[in-house]
Amino acid sequence: MSEYPTNAPRRATRRVMVGAIGVGGGEPVRVQSMTTTRTGDYDATLQQILELATAGAEIVRVTVNDDAAAESLPRLVRSSTVPLVADIHFQHELALKAIAAGVAKLRINPGNIGSSDKVREVARAAQDRGIPIRIGVNKGSLHRRYEEMAAGDPAGAMVQSALDELEVLAAVGFTNVIVSLKSSEPREVIEACRRFSRQSDVPLHLGVTEAGTLQAGISRSVAAMSVLLSEGIGDTVRISLAADPVEEVTAAFHMLQALGLREGFARVVACPTCGRVEVDVVALARRVEELAKDLPPDRVIAVMGCIVNGPGEAKAADLGIAAGKTKVAIYRKGVLHRNIEKADLERVLIEEIDLLR
């Protein structure tokens, strides 16, 4: 048995279906992303949805901010291979159009969707179609009635906003809900999600909003989410990045895999390189990652830059590569298997990685 648990104990939540994908209630932590195209541009949006789905996204959100977007939705819903979520701000009429178009979930922001009457109207339409609603609270766009509270207790204000909105929905019998409590400040996200999860069994979608560009965004998102997920909190995740959204999906799977919550990709171990390095480890490791994309996730490949520490690490992997001055040592399950010319590396890599399938 592993020294580490393969799964953190998970908070008990109700299960909500987003299309055919279960969220909460013991389902795996789901990976989501969002398109960056104009939803009215059907071709570009569909292409990005399919790219995200290929990368492993299980749920994809699209913005529905105008009539062109709403008109694009029925075809997108039909062509998408993953459930689509309509992201609605301000205009509840667009929420009604999105529901009619057949989306699998709505995301509304209680801070800007308008009166409780409008929320109730949307809830009734969602109820008729059997689709859930995500109450997406963002600290940056809280309704003004929470402003005073937010000044002293931002996490408390976010939680209160979500609970109040849940009450509005519950009053019309609508309980098919997911909640998110997002802020650009990871510590506020942690605090808000902890507090909410003590008070409700509604599944939580985790995210740090406006997290930043690739590196900063991943770091800030993982800082918050890994704390929460390790406490069993969080049923779906999105790592929001100012980058290609496919990166969001890859980063989310790496995070969940590192926490033992999902199987992701074969693991590519790469040395950080130093003055002894005999090969371009960065380029080589990237190439190996590419070639190893569809390998079973329990495979480990080590890419080591030299023969000083390289062989030791390379030996511990299913496939190990340790570069020397002119030759490269290839290990299979710890045993030196081949000593090849550097010029043959690409060809041998393809052969050897193929054998790990």
Say if CB 34 and CB 59 are below 8 A apart. no
Stretch that binds ligand SF4, among 3-11, 195-203, 284-292, 302-310 (CB under 6 A): 302-310
Would you count residue 9 as binding ligand SF4 (CB under 6 A)? no
Choose the binding region for ligand SF4 from 159-167, 215-223, 306-314, 342-350 (rule: CB under 6 A). Answer: 306-314
Q: What is the DSSP string of 284-351?
A: HHHHHHHHTTTS-TT-EEEEESSSSSHHHHHHTSSEEEEE-SSEEEEEETTEEEEEEEGGGHHHHHHH
- Shortest approach of ligand SF4 to residue 279 CB, angstroms? 9
* Total site size for ligand SF4, rule CB under 6 A: 12
- Output 231 or 289, the one with its CB closest to ligand SF4: 289
Among 44, 227, 243, 308, binds ligand SF4 (CB under 6 A): 308
> What is the helix (H) or strand (E) element at residue 158, kind and residue range?
helix 154-171
- Rounded to 10 deg, the angle between the 67-79 and 42-55 helix axes is 50
CB 339 within 8 A of CB 331: no
Stated as kind and residue range, the H or E segment containing 16 is: strand 16-18
Q: How far is the CB of 313 from ligand SF4 (least distance, A)?
A: 7
Four-point Cα dihedral 281, 282, 287, 289, nearest 10: 100
Burial class (CB in 10 A: 0-12, 13-18, 19+), 212: middle
Number of Cβ within a 10 Å radius of residue 316: 13
What is the Cα gyration radius of the chain? 23
Shortest distance, CB of residue 276 to ligand SF4, whole angstroms? 4
Per-residue binding string, ligand SF4, 238-277, x by CB under 6 A, is: ---------------------------------xxxx-xx
Q: Which CB sits closer to ligand SF4, 223 or 308?
A: 308
Q: Which is nearer to ligand SF4, 64 or 271 (CB)?
A: 271
Among 309, 327, 334, 340, which residue sits at the site for ligand SF4 (rule: CB under 6 A)?
Answer: 309
Residue type at 338 in one-letter notation: R
Report the distance separating Cα 75 and Cα 63, nearest Å. 15
- Distances in Å between the alpha carbon of 157 and those of 47, 143, 179, 215? 38, 10, 14, 29
CB of 137 or CB of 306, closer to ligand SF4: 306
Shortest CB 322 distance to ligand SF4, Å: 7
| Binds ligand SF4 by CB under 6 A, chosen from 305, 321, 352, 353 | 305
Q: Considering only residues 13 through 42, tell me which ones interact with ligand SF4, judged by CB under 6 A.
A: none
Which residues of the chain form contacts with ligand SF4 (CB under 6 A)?
271-274, 276-277, 304-306, 308-310
